[in-house]
Amino acid sequence: MSSVRFIQQKASNATALTVKGVHRRSLIVSAKKAHRPIVQMPTFHRHYSASPAIQSSSSNTVRQRPIYVCATRQHVGKTSVSLALVSHFTKRFGSENVGYIKAVGQQCMRVWDEPLDADADDEPGQYVLVDKDVKLIRDHFGLSHLRFQDMSPVLIPQGYTKSYLDGEINNQDQTADIRRAYLNIVKATKLGGGNHNNNSITICEGTGHVGVGSIVGSGNARVAAELGADVVLVANGGLGSAFDELELNRALCLQYGVNIAGVVINKVQPDKYDQTREYLTKAIDQMWKGPNGEPAPPILGVVPDRPYLGCPALADVESTFGTVLLSGSDHRYRHYDVGSNVQGRSIGMSMITTDLAAFLRTIQRQDGDARTMFICHVTRDDVILGFLAEYRRKTRRGIPFQSALVICTGCDDGMGDVSDIELSPEVVDMIRDAGPSGPPVLRAPGFSPAEAAKHIRTMTPKFNANDERRVTRATEHYEPYIDFDLLMDRTSSTSDVAA
């Protein structure tokens, strides 16, 4: 069984499988593999022969290999680097000449996939499951020449690993799905700018660290080897810890014979920027030289930390607590700098433990630019109503109101049992009356204020296809710090046509 058929089977089973909140029985996924004309599939080696060729002169041809972006662990900026790469190359070659694929995905969403050919009457559109980053990249950069199902060939939802180990999913079929999807991406990008277009490039985004997916035979290093891709390793800033993580991931690349094109160091403290670049360059040069004196992979970029990109939006808070805004849904992608202090001193997040008068003094002193996420318990009807009243007061006076309120409904009886206290229907009605444009208010079911504050403070915000502001700012922040010319040199080779 292939990964596509596995997902279709699970979608039709009576047993419900949920992928990040998506009910599997509601999904319609086609198992048809030959969804568009397929180019002949050769044997895959590290420098894959289907990599597009760029004519550089009358006698030389530059063969561009796919670029596979991997991280040393989760949450280090792999998608941010992928955004920067796709952004640069769409401007350099045109969006129709850039391919993107996330061969193995985990967090899925349901999208409508249209056939590419206008005359494909025998191939209707269909709903497919894709990794959420595929939706983000395709929509943000307008990669409409690529089909969703080619951009996300293998997904690993709940139950997939057990089915693979039980022999219900065939590794050869799974690998064939990835190969076929990649070949379709290459074909679409080579034809995107015209039948004679050769200036094309494909960005492959991995999942987590280099070894993720190994248990189902599709680890990042193995997939990169199958596609003949060169790897870009992304690591968080630091010296010892950063190099240690890079070394662990490099070992798996070496095992599969995958070339490391270079390294991107992310989230570097600005005051340690020069130090980080200097000493990590020395470490890599000394430790990663080839056995015959080949030069070590270069540092392609050092990206300074930008705290805004780590600030959660209200949509992130909704996802964390499995809830939706009762009011203020128009502000779902408003970001909050929650800070590290949850005792009322941080302007970003504040637990309300005072009486109503003290809370009102705090919120009334805030100017129109203040953006605080207040947290209270469901029993504090006075605080909830005071919050709504202050919103209306400032609105009448033409003063912007950007604060949000998280209402925690969890209650611990002191014996370890946690119960949930319902918000009174009358208060819910008052909150909802504020409407989508009103102040953002949401519930945190089953959480105490202290637990909710901890979850908000420690969450790692993820990119959302609808959060254009964060996506744009991340792209604009990363792109200037990456040496794309060096990356192209490291991932291409020149051959003599006459030869």
The residue type at 415: M
The predicted structure's pLDDT at residue 347:
57
Neighbour order of strands in the sheet with 53-55: 53-55, 60-64, 492-496
> What's the predicted TM-score (pTM) here?
0.79
Strand order in the sheet with 260-268: 98-101, 201-209, 67-71, 230-236, 260-268, 299-304
Q: What is the DSSP letter of 332?
A: T
Please answer whether residues 242 and 236 qualify as being in contact, where contact means their C-beta atoms are separated by less than 8 angstroms: yes
Tell which residue, 176, 223, 240, 190, has the closest CA to residue 70.
223
Cα 14 to Cα 375: distance, rounded to the nearest angstrom = 40
183 exposed, middle or buried (CB, 10 Å; 0-12, 13-18, 19+)? Answer: buried
pLDDT of residue 368: 79
Query: How many CB atoms are closer than 10 A to CB 323?
Result: 16
Going from the first residue of the chain to its last (499 residues), give the mean pLDDT of each consecutive group of 10, the final group possibly shorter: 57 40 34 34 36 52 88 92 96 94 91 71 79 94 94 92 92 93 91 55 94 93 96 94 94 95 95 94 92 90 88 92 96 85 56 93 87 94 96 94 95 66 93 96 94 89 86 94 96 65
User: Which pLDDT value is given to residue 47?
Assistant: 36
Q: What does the CA dihedral 370, 371, 376, 380 come to, rounded to 10 degrees?
A: 50
Q: Cβ atoms within 10 A of the Cβ of 496, count?
A: 8
3-state DSSP of 262-308: EEEEEEECHHHHHHHHHHHHHHHHHHCCCCCCCCCCCEEEEEECCHH
Strands 60-64 and 53-55: antiparallel
User: Measured between alpha carbons, how far is 52 from 320 in angstroms, rounded to an integer?
Assistant: 42
Residue type, 398: G
Report the DSSP beta bridge partners of residue 409.
Answer: none
Burial class (CB in 10 A: 0-12, 13-18, 19+), 196: exposed
Strand, coil or helix: 481: helix
